[in-house]
Amino acid sequence: MANGDEESAVFAPVYDDHGLIPAIVMDANDGSVVMLAYMNAQALRLSLETGEAHYWSRSRQELWRKGATSGDTQKIVDIRMDCDQDTVLLSVIMAGRGVACHTGRHSCFYRRVGRSSQGYKLETI
Amino acid sequence: MANGDEESAVFAPVYDDHGLIPAIVMDANDGSVVMLAYMNAQALRLSLETGEAHYWSRSRQELWRKGATSGDTQKIVDIRMDCDQDTVLLSVIMAGRGVACHTGRHSCFYRRVGRSSQGYKLETI
């Protein structure tokens, strides 16, 4: 617990040592988990103010409005914080192609970990 | 992309600069997101080998078998990796009280962000 108050009504997001908070993204239509992204304080503020999902791209080191180039924007229906306010859960309606993943898939979680003769492998669903 | 191959069958989890990978945890019974936790390589290996969810506690800085003290263990039904293998999605059956949150709730995401006169506040659902 960062602030010791899991019952608080005070909105006080806790950022990591890179100034980021992870955001789990759910498809509001079916409740499925489609991606995990990261927000800095600005991305979270813009997400709240505009209702459009904004993230921080760790690879490009820049603010990123989801779908700005692809058209696959995310309209936020609901934002929740977890008990210690160091994770965000977004419920979104996906516009454009209705996909969250940069591979063009609905969800980034399209591979299951399975056993292989040498250990583990990924199986595309 | 850490390894440039979103179609690969090679299981190659990507850890952050603390040696951790975030794990989104879903209740296998209803598909709801119940928590986010972190795994180091040992926790992920033990989760795969035993079928019981293991995490790395960042606050206690120790390996943690979920439910070891509370009894609220998590039996893993399915493990998925995302496109760039830096996030894990677990689907679990929750034993014990059937709760994931240390507050005794089913899910850690029991507060919604809402508007207040001064900005934003949390509303318990």
The pLDDT-based confidence of B5 (bands split at 50, 70, 90) is: confident
Across the interface, which of A1, A112, A119 has its CB nearest the CB of B80?
A112
The Cα B66–Cα A55 span in angstroms is 30
B103–A9 CB contact, under 8 Å: no
Helix (H, G, I), strand (E, B) or coil at B19: coil
Q: Are A21 and A12 in contact (CB under 8 A)?
A: no
Q: Is the ipTM above a cut-off of 0.85?
A: yes
Give me the mean pLDDT over the A26-53 stretch.
98
B87 burial type by CB count under 10 A (0-12 exposed, 13-18 middle, 19+ buried): buried
Query: Which are the contacts of B48, defined by CB distance < 8 A and separation ≥ 6?
Result: A113, A120, B79
Q: Find the Cα–Cα–Cα–Cα dihedral A29, B122, A74, A88, rounded to 10°.
A: -90
Inter-chain touch A122–B11, beta carbons under 8 Å = yes
What is the model's pTM? 0.95
Residues in chain A: 125
Q: What is the pLDDT of residues B99-123, one digit of tens each?
A: 999 999 999 999 999 999 989 999 9
- DSSP three-state, residue A60: coil
CB A95 within 8 A of CB A108: no
Nearest Cα of chain B lies from the Cα of A86 at a distance, in angstroms, of 9
Distance between alpha carbon A89 and the CA centroid of its chain, in Å? 7
Rg (CA), chain B: 16
Kindly provide the residue ranges of all beta strands, DSSP E only, lying in B1-125, ordered along the sequence. Answer: 21-27, 33-39, 54-57, 62-65, 74-81, 88-94, 111-116, 119-124
pLDDT digits (tens, 9 = 90+) for A51-107: 999 999 999 999 999 999 999 999 999 999 999 999 999 999 999 999 999 999 999
